[in-house]
């Protein structure tokens, strides 16, 4: 019995160290789109592809509405590097090869087809009675800032957060405004409140929940009484998307600069 145990112990003992797994490497002088990856490990070549993707990937751009006409602008597909497939191509490449990276195109979340399937939930148009160059420029600039904004169900919209402070650097111009005393004076951003007031009426038409709104110090002539919404540093216009679908805004002026239209469209599901 003792002899048998000794035989088993000797027979099962390791006579040599277990072989280490072989490290998979790229062949000599291989490159991918001009980036040398020859003799690299799989992990090292993968890091090169991460940097290549950062430089070469192209984001997709949603379809939207043109601010000067309201017409639909089609989406622009994106492009991303398929790192897994490209890495396998690199590892299988012959010495001295220049591997062509594999890319795949993809569509953005909002396409022209989705916009065509959308439903107009609320809209409002106001006349631009004072289309002096500064005021008209401010209206159009402000309209562009809130055009194509997407709101998820339950998300709150803030006019001030999206439009920011009117400054010359940002392209705003002097135009007539009401001061705190209700008197007219020149100030940067005159005309912005026509955009917020037009939006306010579109929100009312869509039956969405208004969470902050302030009237002007004096009646304005582009909306009925008590249907205006002034905005300033300490005065905001806010509302919540209480619809059961995502919303996208459509804000545009006519070519002549005589009317401003704001619409809220309900996007179809995914």
pLDDT tens, per residue, the chain with 270 residues: 444 444 444 455 556 666 666 778 999 999 999 999 999 999 999 999 999 999 999 999 999 999 989 999 999 999 999 999 999 999 999 999 999 999 999 999 999 999 999 999 999 999 999 989 999 999 999 999 999 999 999 999 999 999 999 999 999 999 987 766 666 777 789 999 999 999 999 999 999 999 999 999 889 999 999 999 999 889 999 999 999 999 999 999 999 999 999 999 999 985
CA distances from 56 to 80, 90, 98, 206 (A): 8, 17, 17, 42
3-state secondary structure of 42: helix
Output phi, psi for 232, to 5 deg.
-160, -175
| Mode of pairing for the β-strands spanning 98-99 and 174-178 | unpaired
Q: How far is the C-alpha of 243 from the C-alpha of 199, rounded, in Å?
A: 16
Number of H helices, E strands in the chain: 7, 16
| Mode of pairing for the β-strands spanning 247-253 and 150-151 | antiparallel
Q: How far is the C-alpha of 108 from the C-alpha of 79, rounded, in Å?
A: 10
Which tokens go with 207?
């039956």
For residue 229, the tally of other CB atoms under 10 A from its CB is 28
Q: What pLDDT is stored for residue 177 in this prediction?
A: 77
End-to-end Cα separation, the chain, in angstroms: 75
The DSSP call for residue 84 is H
């Amino acid at each position: 019995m003792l002899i048998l145990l000794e035989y088993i112990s000797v027979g099962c003992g390791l006579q040599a160290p277990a072989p280490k797994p072989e490290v998979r490497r790229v062949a000599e002088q291989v490159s991918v789109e001009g980036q040398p990856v020859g003799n690299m490990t799989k992990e090292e070549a993968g890091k090169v592809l991460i940097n290549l993707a950062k430089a070469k990937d192209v984001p997709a751009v949603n379809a939207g509405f043109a601010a000067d006409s309201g017409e639909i602008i089609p989406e622009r597909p994106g492009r991303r590097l398929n790192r897994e497939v490209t890495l396998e191509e690199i590892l299988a490449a012959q010495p001295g090869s220049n591997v062509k990276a594999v890319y795949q195109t993809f569509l953005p979340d909002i396409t022209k087809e989705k916009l065509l399937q959308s439903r107009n939930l609320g809209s409002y148009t106001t006349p631009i009675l004072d289309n002096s160059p500064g005021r008209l420029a401010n209206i159009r600039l402000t309209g562009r800032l809130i055009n194509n904004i997407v709101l998820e169900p339950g998300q709150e919209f803030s006019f001030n957060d999206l439009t920011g402070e009117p400054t010359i650097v940002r392209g705003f111009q002097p135009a007539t405004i009401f001061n705190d005393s209700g008197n007219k004076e020149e100030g940067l951003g005159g005309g912005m409140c026509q955009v917020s007031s037009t939006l306010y009426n579109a929100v009312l038409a869509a039956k969405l929940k208004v969470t902050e709104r302030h009237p002007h110090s004096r009646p304005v002539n582009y909306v009925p009484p008590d249907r205006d919404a002034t905005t300033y540093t300490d005065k905001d216009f806010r509302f919540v998307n209480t619809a059961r679908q995502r919303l996208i805004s459509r804000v545009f002026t006519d070519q002549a600069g005589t009317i401003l239209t704001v619409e809220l469209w309900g996007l179809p599901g995914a």
